[in-house]
Amino acid sequence: MSRTLSPARERAQLPIGIFDSGVGGLTVLRAIATRLPAEQLLYLGDTARLPYGTKSAASVARYALQAAAHLVERGIKMLVVACNTASAVAMPALAAEFAPLPVIGVVEAGAEAAVRASRSGHIAVLATESTVRGGAYERAIRARRADARVFSQACSLFVALVEEGWTQGPLVEAVAREYLQPLLAEKTCDGLDCLVLGCTHFPLLSGTIRQVAGAEVTLVDSGETVAQAIADTLAQQLLLRAPGLRGAHRFLATDDAARFARVGSRFLGAEIALTDVEQVDL
């Protein structure tokens, strides 16, 4: 459905809407807040339906459209799909439904950063099962570098470990070794020099992943790279707020607000006040 937008000067004051399947996307919010401190951020975590990473593409697309519609109804100037799984399967549907609202996803930004970081063009993507199944990262990387060799590895257990707060130690290392070993075996991915952390939860495991993968492999955090794409789009469309301002951050969750605040604080790396979290029904 096509919508008309208010003038850019008015729209600039609206928040950027950020959506994820849960609290993992707060790693993306943190990157956006660091890059664009003047911006108001409205974050929606669909905690009631987490995880998306093991669900069918049809379910993920339906959930993503509902979550985005909720943010759009509240009034946003841009939609950021912080969830890699939703970004991998629902971007065309979201862009079509909410045009001309700018919609930015982490997959395209991550692919762009990977191509820039890799010299050999041999790139591995670590992601959820649904992201890997759809092949979106592979397509986005190849669209930028046709001769790239892309290896994908579903790392479903990583999500559960991070949700539990387990980001290091022997158990996490053993799981990381199990997932990465086939990629690091020379015969499979000769010359691999870049690993894309293609899931909101994986940046929290970057210490362990780096330890297992070795220092010569560059880790690309798709969340961090999306912040630059957002800044560029807002600037092009004259939607940036005045640089001296300080933007407020508000949070919406589809399940218990107290759990969102507690677990979310870990992902954000800062305390989330319960009063800043509202429970919503989609």
CB of 111 to ligand DGL, least distance (A): 14
Q: CB-wise, 45 or 121, nearer to ligand DGL?
A: 45
Compute the distance between CA of residue 79 and CA of residue 95 in angstroms, rounded to an integer: 9
**Nearest approach, Cβ of 131 to ligand DGL (angstroms)?**
6
Choose the catalytic residue: 155, 189, 194, 199: 199
- Number of residue whose CB is nearest ligand DGL: 53
Beta strands in the chain (DSSP E): 16-20, 41-45, 78-81, 103-105, 122-127, 149-154, 194-198, 218-221, 249-253, 277-279
Question: Binding residues for ligand DGL, per CB under 6 A?
Answer: 20-22, 24, 50-53, 83-85, 128, 131, 159, 199-201
CB-based contacts of 160, cutoff 8 Å, min separation 6 = none
Distances (CA, A) of 213 to 45, 46, 194, 205: 31, 32, 10, 12
Q: Indicate if 194 belongs to the active site.
A: no
Q: Are 240 and 34 in contact (CB under 8 A)?
A: no
Consecutive H or E run containing 229: helix 222-236
Amino acid (one-letter) located at 46: D
- Retrieve residue 146's tokens: 């046709």
70/201 with CB nearer ligand DGL? 201
CB of 53 to ligand DGL, least distance (A): 3
189 flagged as catalytic: no
Report the residue number, 85 or 218, with the smaller CB distance to ligand DGL: 85
Q: Which is nearer to ligand DGL, 14 or 50 (CB)?
A: 50
The CB-of-128 to ligand DGL minimum distance in angstroms stands at: 4
Active site residues: 83, 199
